[in-house]
Amino acid sequence: MGFSNDLADEATSGRAIVSVRDLVQHGFALPAQAQVLERVAQDFRLRITPEMLEAATSAGVARQFVPSADELLVRPEDMADPIGDDVHAPVPGLTHRYPDRAILHVTKTCEVYCRFCFRRETVGDTGHLPPDALDRALNHIAATPAIWEVILTGGDPLVLSPRRIADLLRRLEAIAHVQVVRLHTRVPVVAPQRINDALLAALDSRLAVWVVVHTNHADELTPNAAAALQRLVRAGIPLLSQSVLLRGVNDNVAALEDLFRALIRLRVKPYYLHHCDMARGAGHFRTTIAQGQALMAALRGRLSGTCLPTYVLDIPGGHGKVPIGPGYVQADGAAWVVTDPQGKQHTYTDPST
């Protein structure tokens, strides 16, 4: 299966912001800021969809997508591969960290490029996974009976055309031990027009297909986004959400409460609230673990369990994801001792100041 760049036409048509000049023209940056923002854009890809341009009148939305000079500050704790994708890659394009599931990086392309992304070193570089690499990844999955669930990510898997998505799902269906496919995506929120009849038909599979929507602020959930999520629900596709705790975006009780209530109203179960990863140049987004714990404690007194996600930490270096709470994360003076899923202990230190 050959993948072409399905975003090429939109990126060149001017409908999305893809350059610093676009930012200035749309009023998201001053001309005097252009030179420093060009330096940022050289390292970390820039793209904002029309849907998010309209929503970016909200500071909680704009901060996620509009580049900042703060991204040029690389802190001692920053990492190029903070969650260790490469550490657990048996073949290119596949991460096999846990026995029963694997992550298939079908593309490095996204509809938007988040300023805090933990894959910001690689997204947007080379488009979609080449056919030979895809074949090797699928062969590894087929040769590993323990893999019960395949997670499609990238990049964003829903930037692929419906035909390519359908073809990929058919190939996964042919692997008898694969029972579940999870798609991690921002598309229903940032490019809701892509959730059309052709895509819904492509997602109709013998596999249990779940969609996990990434959204961090209630103002991202525009009427168009709500309609796209409704189309997925009506097609019988179960929806979860994952969000990232971000300083200046949602690091207060009111913002998180609004987000989780809005998701539940749209029949999306809040699944994970991620502690912000140690991505290079994203330190200005990170809170401390103690701040995150205090927010979750306050939310528990205001929201039902249905609304509450699990607050999690991806242990830097590729050691796995754990809930931030007793048994996994314990204070040790100025640092934290984190126990990974294999029972090994690691030291985690909050952001430097």
List, by residue number, the catalytic residues. Answer: 97-98, 101, 110, 114, 117, 119, 277, 314, 321
Omega within 30 of 0 (cis) for the link into 154:
no
Cα 265 from Cα 269, distance rounded (Å): 9
Handedness of CA 211, 214, 217, 221 (dihedral sign): negative
Q: Which long-range contacts (CB under 8 A, 24 or more apart) does 173-178 make?
A: 173/205, 173/206, 173/207, 175/138, 175/141, 175/142, 177/145, 177/146, 177/147, 177/148, 178/141, 178/147, 178/148, 178/149, 178/150, 178/207
Cα 232 from Cα 28, distance rounded (Å): 32
Q: Following DSSP, what letter does each residue of 264-281 receive, concatenated?
A: HHTT-EEEEEEEPP-BTT
Residue 173's CB: how many other CB atoms inside 10 A? 13
Run of H or E including 32: none
Residue 263's CB: how many other CB atoms inside 10 A? 24
Diameter of the chain by CA atoms?
A: 58
187, two tokens: 């598309």
Cα 306 from Cα 266, distance rounded (Å): 13
